[in-house]
Structures are given as C-alpha cells and as structure tokens.
Structure 1
Amino acid sequence: MKDNHQLLTHPQKSTPKMGSVSYQEALKKWSERPTQLLSSSQSLSSLESVGRTDVGRERTHNEDYFSIDQQYFCTPDLPDGSYRGLYILCDGMGGMAKGEVASELATKTLRSYLNSRWQRHLPTEIGLELAMNTANKAVYERNQREQRTGSGRMGTTAVVVMVNNSHIRYVHIGDSRLYRLTRQGLQQLTTDHNAYERALQRGYSPEEAQAYGPQLTKALGPWSGESLHPQSQTLAVEEDTVFLLCSDGLSDHNLLENHTQSHLMGLLDFRTDLANGIDQLMTLANQKNGHDNITAVAVRLRPQQSSV
C-alpha cells in the first residue's frame, strides 16, 4: 500500500531577483515572446529552484522527501562561471510510518553517492544507475535487518535530476515523474513503472490496461535489485525551461496537463517569483489530489543569450 512530511520549504536562487510582476501579466507577456533556441554548448545565465511538500488533506503523515543542492562556481578556467544542481525526490511506501524512512534514506544515499563522485563533469549514465543500485541496497538491507516481509517491506520511488550548465542528466524509478516545460508546452519525460504502463507496453489497449491498476513494478528497497535496471537520459537546454519533479500526489488525474496554461506557463517568465508559482500549484493539487502527499521540485533554467 502506498502511504504517502509537514511542509518543507527549500527555495534556492542563483540569480538576482528581477522586477516582480503578477502571474497573469507574466503569462500574457510570455505568450508574446518569440522563441529563441540556443546552441547546446551554451552555459546558463540563471538557475533557480524551489521545493515544496505537503501531507495532503487525508494522510496523517508525509512519506515524501526531497533534496536540493545547487551551486555556482567561478574559477580562473571558468571566468564566466558554472552552474551545478542536484535535485532528488522520493515517495515512500510501506505503511506503519516506514515509508518516510525509506524515502529519506534513499534520498540521502543518492545525494551522498552522487556528490562524492561529481567532479567537473556530470556522472555518467552508468554512474546514475550505480547510484540507484546503491540506494536500493541501503533500503533493501534495512528491510532485511528488520525482517520485514510482504506488504510490510518498505520502499520508495525516486527521480533524480543533475544540472551542469545547459546539460541535464536524469534517472527515475517508480511513478514519481519528471516534466519539462518550455514555450512549446509540457512534456512528460519519464514513464511510470507500474502495472498499467507495463500492460500498455505488452500491447493492451488503454481501456484494457486500466484493469491492471497503478501498482508499482519497480521501486527502491523491496527487492534485491537484479531487476531494477534504471535507465538514465541526457539532454541539453536550448531555451528557457522549467523542469518539474513531482510525486504522484501532484501528477494524479492529469493535473499538470489539465492546468498547464493556468498554473505553469507563467513560470517561464523569469520576472515571476518561482516560489509563489509553486505555492499556487501546491494549493491546486491539494484541492484536486489531496488524497495523497504532494511534493514538487521546480528547476528553472535560462541559457546565455547568443552573442551572434
């Protein structure tokens, strides 16, 4: 059973705040702005991030957990500076107040592993897979030590995003998602690891696949890891972009897809306050999806303007 922590706030900004405008003004002004695609080799001129989590309206405790690490470097060999960010979101399960143990343990294990191996360049895709396996082992061994069995075994989903200037690498396990928002719209980058998606991959129609439900087919902790096989992806940021990590309490019922215009597109205007925008999104999610814990980590990036 998925049970899904008190309100946590970790806003981080690596750029001076611009003049504030209302959300509706930002949405109108952004819609009038021409798209400008930039070379994938461009560095960033701005990197901002905000994280929020809420217990929801029906749960008694919060089993979501997230972490934000963000830095700006300026060295002799990088006179223009370099942005780096590590963002992790985990959604625990296991009941009896153990879901939050799994999500916190996995988050801290991933954070420690990746930060200790991150030098100048992003860890490789294999490195991200090894990080997931290490987090899986930490939760799995906790289950073994406590002799937890069946539905009493704790586990957690995980979605990890790493930013190195305009280069992004991400990996996930379970049904916590990563979305990319640009002026072209909202795109879901991850595919849920659950019975419904597995049925679709096996050729069932969406109507037939509904019968298989949302049960997770992959998670960190319940199993030893032989079948984990997380797949990471790499991409480049070529225009103003917001990446959104979210637990299923936020993504349920197509909430983000159904409210892209009203609650997301304005976030692409850097004069808007990212924290305020995410607060509004969390309020909406509590109204629509308050049956579960709700967590969001938003990462807003702006590439350097081309000098050409």
Structure 2
Amino acid sequence: MQFAVKTDTGKLRDRNEDLYYFDTQLQLFAIADGMSGHERGDIASRIALEVIQEWAETQASPQSDLGPMKRLGVLSDLAEEANQRIYTSAESQGKGRGMGTTLIAGFVTFSYLAYVHVGDSRLYVLRDEKLTQITTDDSFVQKMVEKGEITPEEGRVHEKRNIITQAIGLQSVVTVNADAYPLVPGDIVLACTDGLHDLIINDREIADILLSASGIEEACENLVSKALDYGGTDNVTVLLVAVD
C-alpha cells in the first residue's frame, strides 16, 4: 500500500484551510476542508483531524483486519466525536460559532475501502482506466441533480455548487455517510477537496492525469498543478492510495 499527498493554498486564498492525515501502518487516511465561508474554518479542520490522529496513536501497529463493519464503526464514532468537539468548542468561544469542515476518512485494505464522508470533499477509485466517484456530495446542487432539475454535468459548473447541506461541527448532531467499497490490486483511491473537482470538472481528465503519471507522487503533483492552471480559486488537496 502506497500513500501520496499534495496540498496547495491556491492562487486566491490567504491561508490553507485544507488538512490531511495518513498512517501507513494502520492504512488510515483523512482529509478535511475547513469552510472559509464560516469563521475559523482552519481550526475546525484541525480539530477534526486531531480526533483521528489521537485515536490512531493509541492503536497497535500493524493492526489486524477487523473487518469492514468494525472499521466503519470506528470511523463513524470518530466523525461524531469530531463533530461534537468542534461544535462544543464553537459554543464555548462564542465568536467561533458556525465553524465547520468537510471530512473524509477511510481505511484502505487489499480487498476493500471502508470510509466515512460528510460534505463535498470526494472519494474516487481508478480501476481499469475508469474513474468512479464513490461518494455523493452533501450539497445544494446534488439535491437539484437528484430531483432531476439539472443534469450531473450542469451540476459540475453550477454557480451554487459550493453550498453544502451539512458539515462536521455546524450542528450538535451530524449524519455521517459510511460505506465500504470493494478493491482489487491495481486500484488507486483518490480523496480530494473541492479545490480539485470544482476546477477539473471532467472526470475523464482526472483519470488521464492519473494514468499518464509515472507514480502516485507525480500524479498528486500533476493534479494540483492542473487545478492551479484552471485558476486555483480554492485550496486544493489530493491524497492517493495505490493498492498493491
């Protein structure tokens, strides 16, 4: 299992509110995108990943395969703990009320990806030269797509595509999307913030960049560079996992 990651502030933002974490021994990763439209988004993303890192540091390495259901339970508990910690912190400080972050966290094994997802950061899997999006955005535009009001292609460029319907820390209770996806050797797992998929709006182009790279480190560099070429209007983070 190989991990690679790249993050960039972008061309228009003053600070990077994206954060990432991975542990190669536990085969665990996470990315969080603090909400710049809300106060202290960078603190929200940091708290969310601190919760995951704190848990990881208590675990024996390497960890035996607990099975997807137990792993999903761990991830869901961590996401809910992150939500509560951010919400409580915001309430206690007053001025931080409303701070939030997206979150994706997952365990990658040789046969499956167990993951949790809140917000509009995304997970994809590249297999046999085809890129498949496996998460569904918690977003205003996604609801429009589901109602048939616009097409998925129209949603990728819609002016309101950055409006999300839930995030970690905004409310006292959060609905965590948790699932498992089967993997096979040769798959590449892509986790990214909207700074990537809002700029490279064609999944075929993302796939081609992955396929043309000599390895996942170069692929991370090239994906971020392409997002910057398209304007770099947001922080951008790309995390890749190659399944051996």
TM-score (norm. length: structure 1): 0.69
1:90 maps to amino acid: A
1:70 aligns with 2:24: yes
- From 163, 172, 175, give the equivalent of 2:108: 163
Specify the alignment match of 1:19 in structure 2.
Answer: none
Q: Does 1:264 align with 2:210?
A: yes
Alignment partner of 1:179 out of 92, 111, 124: 124
Q: Could you tell me whether the CA contact under 8 Å between 2:189 and 2:241 is conserved in 1? A: yes
- The amino acid that maps onto 2:195 is G
1:193 aligned residue (113, 138, 143): 138
- Structure 2: 5+ residue stretches without partners: none
Q: Aligned pair in 2 of structure 1 residues 97, 199: CA closer, same or farther (>3 Å)?
A: closer
Distance 1:251 1:212 in 2: 14
CA shift, 1:282, in A, is 1.1
- Distance of 2:134 and 2:88 partners within structure 1: 30
- Where 1:180 maps in the other structure, the secondary structure is strand
Which residue in the other structure is 1:221 paired with?
169
**Letter aligned with residue 23 of structure 2:** D
Amino acid at match of 2:127: T
Judging by fraction of residues, say which structure has more strand.
1
Q: Say whether residues 1:249 and 2:195 are aligned partners.
A: yes
- Cα distance in 1 between the residues matched to 2:38 and 2:145: 32
Letter in 1 for 2:10: G
Aligned to 1:61: 15
> How far apart are 1:231 and its partner, in Å?
2.2
CA displacement, residues 34-68 of structure 1 (integer Å, 9 cap, x when unaligned): xxxxxxxxxxxxx1111111000010111000001
Please say if 1:48 is aligned against 2:8.
Answer: no
Structure 2 counterpart of 1:76: none
Q: Provide TM-score, normalisation by structure 2.
A: 0.86
1:252/1:289 contact within 8 Å kept: no
Determine helix, strand or coil for the equivalent of 1:130.
helix
The residue matched to 1:243 in structure 2 has which SS? strand
Task: Determine which structure has more spread, i.e. the larger CA radius of gyration.
Answer: 1
Q: Secondary structure at the match of 1:126?
A: helix
Alignment length (residue pairs): 236
- For residue 96 of structure 1, report the CA deviation from its aligned partner: 7.9
Aligned-residue identity in percent = 27
8 Å CA contact 1:183, 1:265 repeated in 2: no
**Cα distance in 1, alignment partners of residues 41 and 119 from structure 2:** 14
CA distance in 2, matches of 1:90, 1:237: 23
CA distance in 2, matches of 1:96, 1:278: 28
C-alpha separation between the residues in 2 aligned to 1:63 and 1:166? Answer: 32
Query: Offset at 1:97?
Result: 6.9
1:134 equivalenced with 2:81 (yes/no): yes
Q: Could you list the runs of 5+ residues in structure 1 that have no partner in the other structure? A: 1-46, 72-83, 303-308
Give 3-state SS (helix, strand or coil) of 1:232's partner: strand
Q: Per-residue deviation at 1:278?
A: 1.4
Q: 1:274/1:205 Cα in 2 relative to 1: closer, same or farther (>3 Å)?
A: closer
**1:135 positional shift:** 0.6
